[in-house]
Structure 1
Amino acid sequence: MTICFKNSKNINVDQLEKLYNDVEWFAYTQDLAILQQALSQSLDVISAWDGDELVGLIRIVGDGLTIIYVQDILVLNAYQNQGIATKLLQQTLNKYNSVRQKVLLTEEAPDVRHFYEKNGFQSCDKGFLVAFAKMN
């Protein structure tokens, strides 16, 4: 298996639907036109491909100068634990190395916490940071 990484916001909606549904992010696939528009309006999108199959994606929002926000990072279940998410995240962190604030909000789970901590993120429940969110 050779995974190819692409920097493009133009991804077939059927491929997006399969990826987001596979990881059970159904809120995103209730309106596929909005999902595709969200990608097109993002600061950056890096995708991972196994041939013609979309197997992973990271989506970044922000200004790219002072702040980036990792909005989505997901990998098909069959491709998880193969380093794909790490490569997507590292490509992003390298590209936006000079940006001071690199932020994300995610669910609490031991494997999730481990993934982000091993990639240099600090949880806001440790140290001097505080985080607030308002969800609809």
Structure 2
Amino acid sequence: MDISFKVNHPITTDQFIGLLESSTLGERRPIHDRECMEGVVSNSNLLISAWDEDLLVGIARSVTDFHYACYLSDLAVHKGYQRSGIGKRLQSLTQEQLGPLCKLILIAAPAANSYYGQIGYTHNDRCWVLDPGATIGN
């Protein structure tokens, strides 16, 4: 298997949705909302992708300032390519694009929660999420 990795290589919305569907991440993303998915792809400012020839088999999609914080929003690897080191390589390549003080931040999928501690991430229980439609009150 000869996988190539690319930094900020253009991907289509259909390629992105197809990868999410072929990984476990599609279950937790609004893949049936095309407008949302188009916005997700077009507004990311760091995309590291893994390719098996013309097939997108992995992605690390981030929003970052490159200096202080990088939010790794999506890390997805096609089910047929998992456990081959692609996910780790995507994260390493993401980290290589960042400044020396930039933190890599993510919210783990429930099934992957134990994975990140094993590869060097520190657990932080201070994350807060405001769901769409929720009102900020006093």
Q: TM-score range by the shorter chain?
A: 0.7 to 0.9
Structure 2 CA distance, aligned partners of 1:102 and 1:62?
A: 9
Q: Which residue of 1 aligns with 2:60?
A: 58
Structure 2 CA distance, aligned partners of 1:34 and 1:7?
A: 22
Q: Which residue of 1 aligns with 2:39?
A: 37
Question: What displacement does 1:9 show?
Answer: 5.1
Q: Which residue of 1 aligns with 2:129?
A: 133
Amino acid at match of 1:135: D
**What pairs up with 1:107-118 in 2 under 5 angstroms?**
107-109=109-111, 112-118=112-118
Q: Which residue of 2 aligns with 1:124?
A: 124
Is contact 2:64-2:70 (8 Å) kept?
yes
- Are 1:103 and 2:99 an aligned pair? no
- Are 1:15 and 2:15 an aligned pair? yes
Q: TM-score, normalised by structure 1?
A: 0.83
Query: Where does structure 1 lack aligned partners over 5 or more consecutive residues?
Result: none
What's the % identity of the aligned pairs? 28
- Are 1:72 and 2:74 an aligned pair? yes
Equivalent residue pairs, number:
130
Q: Deviations over 1:43-86 (max 9, x none)?
A: 20011000110000000112121111000000000100000000
Q: Residue 59 of structure 1: SS of its match in structure 2?
A: strand
Q: Deviations over 1:86-109 (max 9, x none)?
A: 000011112215134321112333
Query: Where does structure 2 lack aligned partners over 5 or more consecutive residues?
Result: 133-138
Is contact 1:3-1:48 (8 Å) kept?
yes
Structure 2 CA distance, aligned partners of 1:6 and 1:55?
A: 12
Question: What displacement does 1:37 show?
Answer: 2.5
Amino acid at match of 1:113: N
Pick closer, same or farther for the CA change 1:118–1:62 going to 2, 3 Å. Answer: same
Structure 1 CA distance, aligned partners of 2:31 and 2:5?
A: 23
Q: CA RMSD in A?
A: 1.9
